[in-house]
Amino acid sequence: MQHKNDEQTHFGYKTVNKSHKRELVADVFDSVATKYDLMNDLMSLGIHRVWKANTIANSGVRKGQKVLDVGGGTGDLSQKFSKIVGVEGKVILSDINQSMLKEGRKKLRNLGFINNISYVQADAEHLPFPDNYFDCVSISFCLRNVTNKEAALRSIYRVLKPGGRILILEFSKPNSQLISKLYDTYSFNVLPILGKIIAGDSESYKYLAESIRMHPSQDELKQMMLQAGFDEVKYYNYTDGIVALHKGFKF
């Protein structure tokens, strides 16, 4: 009989023990942390900034509110939320990876964001915050790396206030076969080369490409959110579905 801690999951296209995946994902982001922002700009030709701006526009966040940026990494969303909520509000940038959190804190402090952003190393599956606490929770390009996505969704649901909103920005499934084929060619041939040249690491970017393909489709993720308790779940495809924004509420 297989021990619960030895249950299998995927790490890209590989099958690994669930207990081992966290360590493998940590190695990836330890490796890419210092070049993460540069690689984002190169990989997406800067379009990730538009995706994130649309996420902020769908957040409904207002002055004085509390926002949690789960897996917030280098803080692109956190700095935007910080400007909106102002000194009366609060933003928490959380990430399970210490290297990414360190890069995010350094970047935002250098930009002058010191008054209303806190930094917490935390596991998305077990968020260390009170029930019914946040007005909005975002999770951007992080959920596909979480071992137990259902547990993470339930954890986010718990810490949201009634009426609060979840925003999931993540790579998804392209709508057209042509775009899908071009995207595959780019992801598995160009992306690892870029990773090797810029970050000195092709294997981590090979994993990132694989992890995107293993992530649930738009409709599958919508169903997972509904099962976690969220209402009025909708999604918006960006760049032909290469990326999707899922939005839901806690009532």
CATH code of the domain in which 50 resides? 3.40.50.150
pLDDT at 35: 85
CA dist 199 → 21, 38, 139, 145 (Å): 22, 9, 24, 19
Tell whether 37 is in a known binding site: no
pLDDT at 1: 43
- The reply to whether 14 falls in a domain is yes
The residue type found at 174 is P
**Do the bridges between strand 160-171 and strand 117-121 make them parallel or antiparallel, or are there none, so unpaired?**
unpaired
- The reply to whether 192 falls in a domain is no
Averages of pLDDT over each 10 residues, the chain, 251 residues: 64 81 81 87 93 97 98 96 97 96 95 93 97 98 96 98 98 96 94 89 89 95 98 98 98 95
**Domain count of the fold of the chain:** 1
- The reply to whether 195 falls in a domain is no
- The reply to whether 181 falls in a domain is no
Domain ranges, residue 57: 5-175+207-249
pLDDT at 31: 85
Which residues does 102 contact at the CB level (< 8 Å), separation at least 6?
A: 33
- The reply to whether 199 falls in a domain is no
Alpha helices in the chain (DSSP H): 18-32, 36-44, 48-57, 76-85, 98-110, 149-159, 177-185, 191-194, 202-214, 218-227
Tell whether 176 is in a known binding site: no
Which residues does 23 contact at the CB level (< 8 Å), separation at least 6?
A: none
pLDDT at 216: 96
- The reply to whether 94 falls in a domain is yes
Question: Tokens standing for 72?
Answer: 């917030």
pLDDT at 199: 83
- The reply to whether 57 falls in a domain is yes
Question: What is the SS3 string spanning 146-169?
Answer: CCCHHHHHHHHHHHEEEEEEEEEE
- The reply to whether 161 falls in a domain is yes
Tell whether 140 is in a known binding site: yes
Burial of 17: CB neighbours in 10 Å, binned 0-12, 13-18, 19+ = middle
pLDDT at 2: 46
